């Protein structure tokens, strides 16, 4: 069993206090119905400044879909309240502003339905849980850091005592979240990270070997490498399968009790894999929109192509008790939606608000 208490829970006020707090805010709204709208707008301004600081007024107005005139009124007020600094480089949060932003975020999630959105998306996909970060990772780089923090907290909650084998996929998002892990070891729990696949000819820092090694280092766990290309000829494959060191790692991968992976856009991943023009044309004709584990999916979730590979297969996921899928950004909504039609029900999806809203747009829940 994993821990009974998550660090995610520790960051939130106790349930009774949250209910009282929300009831009080509803009473205030009954008297001053515009107050929550003002609170939400000012929180969004603080949030976008935090994500992109230092940022100029014009760029901030564009990111908020707000006129510069209206924004100037709000930022002047926030400056008078000593929540932001304004310099030639742009606007930044003060120390007081950062504390207000952090503390207010806990209230805003409860007040404006982030947890309800998480439940809706989890029910829509028929999976155990969704953890949604505010914002759009396509536009705000710091949202990816939130993915890393959510991953760290989820692993701390879910990984059981004893020896864990964690199979890790590669990718740019995975490389970024790996940097955010902290100690996950204890006297009772030991974690071994292994790459879930061979390399695919991409930059070393985003290959599964490198990502799993970084996760092990950051979390004080152990690591085993798999030094083979992902795609091989039949003769080379048979030869490598005789190597004891390779067989050892493949055996570890097959016994993983946790898998961490991302979800990619089909044509983007095809380019990264240096697939032929003929293969890319075939993917376009098949309307492929998503890729994960070497499988390409169309919008309905149907597998339209599979890359021959060494490592974890899609069918292997059914027996893995802990699965964490990480992907966000409005641009990845179709890819996430397509892959998740195949996701085992024990999957946790770590995504962002932009992807969640785009996926649920028009959905009947």
Among the ranges given (4-13, 230-239, 259-268, 299-308), the one the predictor scored with the smallest mean pLDDT:
4-13
How far apart, in Å, do the first and last CA atoms of the chain sit? 31
d(CA 246, CA 232): 14
Residue 273 near residue 209, CB atoms below 8 Å: no
Q: Which of 258, 88, 249, 290 is nearest to 159 (CA)?
A: 258
Whether the model pTM is above 0.75: no
Is 267 exposed, middle or buried, given 0-12, 13-18 or 19+ CB atoms closer than 10 A? middle
* Beta strand 162-168 pairing with 189-195: parallel
Q: Which of 135, 133, 208 is nearest to 172 (CA)?
A: 208
User: Strands (DSSP E) along the chain, which ranges?
Assistant: 84-87, 90-93, 129-133, 162-168, 189-195, 222-223, 258-262, 264-265, 288-292, 295-298, 303-306, 322-326, 347-352
Q: Which residue has the tokens 């301004």?
A: 45
Please tell me whether residue 154 adopts helix, strand or coil conformation: helix
Measured in whole angstroms, how far is the alpha carbon of residue 82 from the centre of its chain? 33
How high is the pLDDT of residue 24?
A: 60
Instruction: Check whether 100 has a pLDDT greater than 70.
Output: yes
- Give the chain's largest Cα–Cα span: 76
User: Which residues, in sequence order, are bridge partners of residue 192?
Assistant: 165, 222
**For helices 142-158 and 35-52, what crossing angle results, to 10°?**
100
How high is the pLDDT of residue 1?
A: 43
Instruction: Check whether 152 has a pLDDT greater than 50.
Output: yes
Residue 317 near residue 132, CB atoms below 8 Å: no
Residue 353 near residue 117, CB atoms below 8 Å: yes
Q: Which of 197, 133, 184, 157 is nearest to 327 (CA)?
A: 133
Instruction: Check whether 283 has a pLDDT greater than 90.
Output: yes
Instruction: Check whether 289 has a pLDDT greater than 90.
Output: yes
How high is the pLDDT of residue 310?
A: 75
- What are 114-135's pLDDT values in tens digits? 777 888 899 999 998 998 888 8
Residue-wise over 155-194: b if at least 16 C-beta within 10 A, else e? bbbbbeeeebbbbbbbbbbbbbbbebbeebeeeebbbbbb
pLDDT tier, 211 (very low <50, low <70, confident <90, very high otherwise): very high
State the DSSP string of 76-122.
HHHHHTTSEEEETTEEEE-HHHHHHHHHHHHHHHHHTTHHHHHHHHH
Among the ranges given (47-51, 68-72, 233-237, 338-342), the one the predictor scored with the smallest mean pLDDT:
233-237
User: Which residues, in sequence order, are bridge partners of residue 261?
Assistant: 325
Average pLDDT over residues 21-40: 68
The sign of the torsion formed by the CA atoms of 79, 84, 89, 90 equals negative
State the DSSP string of 17-30.
HHHHHHHHHHHHHH
Higher pLDDT, 327 or 65: 327
CA distances from 77 to 10, 46, 63, 73, 273 (A): 32, 12, 19, 6, 50
Collect all residues with Cβ–Cβ distance below 8 Å to 24 and sequence separation of at least 6: none
């Amino acid at each position: 069993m994993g821990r009974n208490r998550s660090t995610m829970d520790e960051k939130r006020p106790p349930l009774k206090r949250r209910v009282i707090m929300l009831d009080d805010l509803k009473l205030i709204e009954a008297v001053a119905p515009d107050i929550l709208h003002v609170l939400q707008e000012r929180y969004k301004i603080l949030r976008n400044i935090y994500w992109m600081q230092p940022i100029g007024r014009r760029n901030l107005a564009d990111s908020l879909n707000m006129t510069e005139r209206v924004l100037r009124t709000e930022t002047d007020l926030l400056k008078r309240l000593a929540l932001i600094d304004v310099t030639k480089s742009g606007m930044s949060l003060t120390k007081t502003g950062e504390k207000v932003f952090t503390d207010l975020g806990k209230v805003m999630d409860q007040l404006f339905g982030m947890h309800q959105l998480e439940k809706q998306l989890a029910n829509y996909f028929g999976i155990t849980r969704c953890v949604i970060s505010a914002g759009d990772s396509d536009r705000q780089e710091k949202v990816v850091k939130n993915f890393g923090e959510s991953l760290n907290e989820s692993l701390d909650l879910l990984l059981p005592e004893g020896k864990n084998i964690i199979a890790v996929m590669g990718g740019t998002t995975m490389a970024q979240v790996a940097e955010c892990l902290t100690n996950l070891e204890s006297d009772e729990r030991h974690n071994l990270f292994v790459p879930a696949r061979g390399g695919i000819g991409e930059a070393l820092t985003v290959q599964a070997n490198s990502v799993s090694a970084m996760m092990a280092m950051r979390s004080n766990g152990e690591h085993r490498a798999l030094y083979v290309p992902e795609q091989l000829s039949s003769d080379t494959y048979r030869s490598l399968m005789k190597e004891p060191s390779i067989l050892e790692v493949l055996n570890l991968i097959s016994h993983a009790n946790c898998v961490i992976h991302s979800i990619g856009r089909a044509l983007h991943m095809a380019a990264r894999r240096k697939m032929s023009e003929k293969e890319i044309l075939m993917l376009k004709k098949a309307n492929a929109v998503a890729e994960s584990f070497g499988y390409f999916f169309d919008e309905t979730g149907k597998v339209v192509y599979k890359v021959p590979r060494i490592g974890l297969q899609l069918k292997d996921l059914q027996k893995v008790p802990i699965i964490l899928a990480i992907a966000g950004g409005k641009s990845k909504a179709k890819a996430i939606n397509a892959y998740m039609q195949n996701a085992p029900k024990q999957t946790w999806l770590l995504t962002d608000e932009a992807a969640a809203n785009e996926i649920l747009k028009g959905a009947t829940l």
